[in-house]
Amino acid sequence: MSNPVTQYRARQSRRAWAVGGALLLALTVTAAWRITLGEWAIPLPRVIYLLSPWLSGTERTPAEALVVRAVRLPRLLSAGGAGGLLSVAGAVLQGLLSNPLAEPYTLGIAAGAAFGGALGLLFSSLMVTPAAFAGALAALAIVSLIACRSGGTVRGGGAQLVLAGVVANAVLSAGVTFLKAIADDKLGAIVLWLMGSLSGAGMSSAAAVWGASLLVLVPALACAPLLDALSLGEGQGALLGVDEGRVRTLLLLTTSLGIAAVVSAFGIIGFVGLVVPHLLRMSVGPSHRTLLPLSFLAGGCLLSVADGVAQSMGELPVGVLTALIGGPFFCWLLVRRGGRK
């Protein structure tokens, strides 16, 4: 006797594997494109040879080897890691708050990290990351507080939460402008950093982003079924025995830290965390055990492609490109949600 639920479960997992396979393929093609093409085309076999760890010291120095190892590879890894992290962070926030419009950018967390980071930069470049993290947490706390006080709840607080995010974004952007106005000789550094570009990515920033990715992905994936229950909203998580406070605190901390890591390395890259989980939910469903790893793959792929396009358009900041595409998508999402009610 076969249980229909077991069949549905198997069908769902087959579909997730198929989508995951397609994403891996897309990621491979993107990686091959990004690492071989550019101002200087280098054939793939040559790239693979140049990337091999057994390359002798003298062979590492020619310009060709430098371009691949010190410029293209870190940039590819950074784009992949940052895109993956932002998507997973978006998916986690949307689940925790039971609000499909939650995202590092819309909630003002990214703006908080930017403000904190810019403030830190005024004092020392070493202060950027810790100050960005503090800024991200503070923005999240303020937005949640406003949402609660204005009659909404943090979970399922729909309009209030997004409105509070809008306000936080506006205030914090003004704050960043203020910092720029008083920055004097550091103005250039702040502007360049906040533009949201991967053009300066090095191996150390790639490593930082990948470390932060693990920090966001691993705990979220470990409690994926709890996240499912929380994402039902309306206190369902607590009724199903989930310690909402503890799970929410842990995951908000890790995602804020991850977002701050991306912002402090590359500036604000918005909307990736909104678009990717939403599109994936339409194809593999909202279960976080599949949604989170697939979000990581898809986000990495999307930001790598966007970065490639941005670079080919004369080194446009990739944050500009994601906002140009993501903004209209966000509107479409709002309209579609409104239309259903």
Partner 1 sequence: MNGFGFRLRGLTSGYGARTILKGIDADIPAGVLTSLIGPNGSGKSTLLRALAGLQPYGGTLNLTGGEGEREVRRISRREFALLAGVVPQGFHPAYPFSVWEVIGMGRLPYRGLLGGRATEEDDARIVAAARRVGVEKLLPRPITALSGGEAQRVLLACVLAQDPPVFLLDEPTSALDPNQAARVFALLRELAEEGRTVVAVVHDINASLAFSGHYLALREGTLLSQGPMDELNGDVLQALYGTPFLPYRSERGDVMWRALAE
Region binding partner 1 by CB under 8 A among candidate stretches 64-72, 112-120, 202-210, 279-287: 279-287
Among 241, 314, 338, 339, binds partner 1 (CB under 8 A): 241
The answer to whether 231 contacts partner 1 (rule: CB under 8 A) is yes
**Residue 255, CA distances (Å) to 140, 228, 248 in order:** 11, 17, 10
Residues sharing a CB contact under 8 Å with residue 283, sequence separation 6 or more, in sequence order: 15, 19
The full DSSP string for 102-138 is --TTTTTHHHHHHHHHHHHHHH-GGGHHHHHHHHHHH
The answer to whether 226 contacts partner 1 (rule: CB under 8 A) is yes
Q: Give the residue carrying structure tokens 């997992």.
A: 13
Among 34, 75, 248, 281, binds partner 1 (CB under 8 A): 281
Q: What is the contact mask toward partner 1 in residues 179 to 218, using x (rule: CB under 8 A)?
A: ----------------------------------------
Among 5, 41, 181, 182, binds partner 1 (CB under 8 A): 5
Residues sharing a CB contact under 8 Å with residue 152, sequence separation 6 or more, in sequence order: 158, 159, 160, 161
Among 25, 285, 312, 315, binds partner 1 (CB under 8 A): 285
The answer to whether 8 contacts partner 1 (rule: CB under 8 A) is yes
The C-alpha atoms of residue 44 and residue 51 are separated, in whole angstroms, by: 10
SS3 of 218, please? helix
The answer to whether 242 contacts partner 1 (rule: CB under 8 A) is yes
Among 232, 279, 320, 325, binds partner 1 (CB under 8 A): 232
The answer to whether 248 contacts partner 1 (rule: CB under 8 A) is no
Residues sharing a CB contact under 8 Å with residue 2, sequence separation 6 or more, in sequence order: none
Binding residues for partner 1, rule: CB under 8 A, are: 3-6, 8-9, 12, 95, 98-100, 156, 222-226, 228-229, 231-236, 238-244, 281, 285-287
